[in-house]
Amino acid sequence: MFSGARAETVAELVGTASLLDFPPGSRILDLCCGPGLFLVPLAARGHRVTGVDLSPAMLERAGTACREAGAADVELVRADMLTYVAPDSYDVILNVFTSFGYFENPDDNLQVLRNAWRSLAPGGRLLVDVMGKEVLAGWIGRPQAVDLPDGSYVVQRDTVLDSWRRLRTDWTLVRGSTARTASIRSFLYSAAELHDLFLAAGFADVECFGDFDGGPYDQTSRRLIVRGVRK
Ligand SMILES: C[S@@+](CC[C@H](N)C(=O)[O-])C[C@H]1O[C@@H](n2cnc3c(N)ncnc32)[C@H](O)[C@@H]1O
């Protein structure tokens, strides 16, 4: 999930993608920043960057990545997206790589969008990047295994729950004769559902895209990106 190869892909994306092209010096929050893959290239482009994550281990990795890249000004905050609000503080909020829909109560997921609306300055934009329900329907059920450099491998299995409202993803790491499993449950959103959730949270000019270049969300898309503006 956080491989070196992905870090390179993200850095290239930040340098080229039109949806990630912000005016110099923008105040950008990466909500659920993980190990900081977006923080470093955004800071390198001269933006004022904040990363929020709940996991101390992720924040530590993000801090190390920023220090090693010379991005000492990046602010890192340990907080829960369910409660984090910094009123009128950001021009852009990013929530990427399926970091949305984690709460069991659907109202809590809406609350995350409401918090983002309040944390944006007027005119600011929120971008949420998830695996859209339509995209998932195209490949779910195919076994997925990833080989790791040390000879171990990870098998991912997805299970649709509650009539396509939610998804459980199980990862099994097989190393030698041992196996460890971790699971995440999250809500699934179609483009229309996430679009309407943005409207319910108060966003205007809500648009759906199929990639960070601003391509349409259609039968060829691999991601669902929804963008809304705080007017
Ligand atoms: C799939 S990872 C994506 C990380 C990062 N956005 C990226 O592109 O690499 C999801 C992240 O959300 C964080 N997270 C999970 N629940 C959270 C919460 N309630 N509040 C803040 N962060 C949370 C996890 O610690 C993890 O770093």
Instruction: Write the pLDDT tens digit of every residue in 145-182.
Output: 989 889 999 999 999 999 999 999 999 999 999 999 99
Q: Which of 13, 78, 99, 109 to mutate to test the pocket of ligand 1 (most atoms within 8 A of CB)?
A: 99
CA 33 – ligand 1 centroid, Å? 6
111 lines ligand 1 (CB under 6 A): no
| pLDDT value of position 1 | 61
Q: Please tell me the pTM assigned to this model.
A: 0.95
The answer to whether the CB of 183 falls within 8 A of the CB of 155 is no
CA 205 – ligand 1 centroid, Å? 26
pLDDT grade, residue 64 (50/70/90)? very high
| pLDDT value of position 3 | 65
| pLDDT value of position 71 | 95
Class of domain 4-131+189-229: alpha beta
Instruction: Write the pLDDT tens digit of every residue in 23-57.
Output: 999 999 999 999 999 999 999 999 999 999 999 99
97 lines ligand 1 (CB under 6 A): yes
| pLDDT value of position 149 | 86
Instruction: Write the pLDDT tens digit of every residue in 81-119.
Output: 999 999 999 999 999 999 999 999 999 999 999 999 999
| pLDDT value of position 133 | 97
